[in-house]
Amino acid sequence: MEKDLNWREFIITRLIKFSGYSAIIFVSLIFFFLLKEGLPTLSEVPLGDLFALRWYPIESYYGILPLITGSLLVTIGAGIIAVPFGIGTAIYLSEIAPRWVRNLLKPLVELLGGLPSVVLGFLGILILSPALRVSLNLPTGLTALSGALLLGGIAIPTVVSIAEDALDAVPKSYRDAALALGATRWQTIWRVTLPAARSGVLTAVMLGVGRSIGETMTVMMVTGNAPALATGLGDLFSPIRTMTATIAAEMGEVANASTHYHVLFFIGMVLFIISLIVNVTASAVVFRQKKRAERVLS
Amino acid sequence: MKNKIIIENLTLQYSDGTESLNDISLDIPANATTVLFGPAGGGKSSLLRCLNRLNDLADVESVSGKILLDGENILDPKLDVIALRRKVGMVFARPVVLPFSIRGNLTYGLELAGEKRKSRHDEAVERSLKLAALWEEVHDRLDDPAIALSGGQQQRLCLARSLALEPDVILLDEPTSGLDPISTSKVENALIELKKQYTVILVPHSVQQAARTSDYAAFFLQGKLVEYASGTEIFTNPKNQRTEDYVTGRFG
Indicate the pairing of strand B60-69 with strand B3-14: antiparallel
Residue in chain B closest to A188 (alpha carbons) equals B112
Residue A69 one-letter amino acid: T
Residue A183: list chain B partners with CB under 8 A.
82, 108-109, 112
Residue A171: list chain B partners with CB under 8 A.
96
- CATH code, residues A42-297: 1.10.3720.10
Among B96, B99, B113, beta carbon nearest to A182: B113
Residues B43-66 have a mean pLDDT of: 85
Residue B85: list chain A partners with CB under 8 A.
179-182
* ipTM confidence: 0.82
Burial A244-257 (b: 16+ CB within 10 A, else e): bbbbeebeeebeee
| pLDDT(B157) > 50 | yes
Residues B29-53 have a mean pLDDT of: 90
pLDDT at B249 (0 to 100): 86
pLDDT at B58 (0 to 100): 75
A:95-124 residues touching chain B, CB 8 A cutoff: 99
d(CA A163, CA A109): 12
- Number of residue pairs across A and B with CB atoms under 8 Å? 63
Residues B118-132 have a mean pLDDT of: 90
The answer to whether B177 touches B155, Cβ cutoff 8 Å, is no
Indicate the pairing of strand B33-37 with strand B199-203: parallel
**Test mutation, B61, B81, B97, B98, chain A, max A CBs within 10 A:** B98
d(CA B252, CA B245): 9
CA–CA min distance B239, chain A (Å): 36
The answer to whether A235 touches A241, Cβ cutoff 8 Å, is no
**Test mutation, B49, B51, B86, B108, chain A, max A CBs within 10 A:** B108
Question: Of B120, B106, B195, B112, which is closest to residue B153 (Cα–Cα)?
Answer: B106
Residues of chain B in Cβ contact (below 8 Å) with chain A: 52, 54, 57, 59, 82-83, 85-86, 89-90, 92, 94, 96, 98-99, 108-109, 112-113, 145, 147-148, 158, 161-162, 165
Structural domains in chain B plus CATH codes: 3-247 (3.40.50.300)
Cβ neighbours for B38, distance < 8 A, ≥ 6 positions apart:
B44, B219, B220, B221, B226, B246, B252
The answer to whether B207 touches B196, Cβ cutoff 8 Å, is no
Q: In sequence order, what are the beta bridge partners of B50? A: none
Q: Which own/partner contact pairs does B210-215 have at CB distance under 8 Å and 24+ positions apart?
A: B210/B35, B210/B37, B210/B235, B211/B235, B211/B247, B212/B188, B213/B33, B213/B35, B213/B188, B214/B33, B214/B34, B214/B35, B215/B29, B215/B32, B215/B33, B215/B34
The answer to whether A71 touches A122, Cβ cutoff 8 Å, is no
String of DSSP letters for B106-153: HHHHHHHTT---HHHHHHHHHHHHHHTT-HHHHTT-TTSBGGGS-HHH
CA–CA min distance A201, chain B (Å): 16
3-class secondary-structure state, position A230: coil
pLDDT at A292 (0 to 100): 56
Give the Cβ contact number of residue A181 at 10 Å.
Answer: 28
Contact B98 A296 (CB under 8 A): no
**Does the beta carbon of A187 lie under 8 angstroms from any beta carbon of chain B?**
yes
CA–CA min distance B234, chain A (Å): 31
d(CA B206, CA B214): 12
Among B83, B92, B148, beta carbon nearest to A176: B92
Residue in chain A closest to B52 (alpha carbons) equals A180
d(CA A227, CA A204): 30
Provide block-wise average pLDDT over 10 residues at a time, chain A (298 residues): 78 93 92 91 87 86 89 91 94 91 91 87 90 87 89 92 92 88 89 87 88 86 82 80 90 88 92 87 73 50
pLDDT at A56 (0 to 100): 87
pLDDT at B1 (0 to 100): 58
pLDDT band at B216 (very low <50, low <70, confident <90, very high): very high
Contact A173 B96 (CB under 8 A): yes
Cβ neighbours for A178, distance < 8 A, ≥ 6 positions apart:
A187, A188, A191, A192, A193, B98
d(CA A96, CA A42): 54
The answer to whether A1 touches A222, Cβ cutoff 8 Å, is no
Contact A174 B147 (CB under 8 A): no
| pLDDT(B93) > 60 | yes
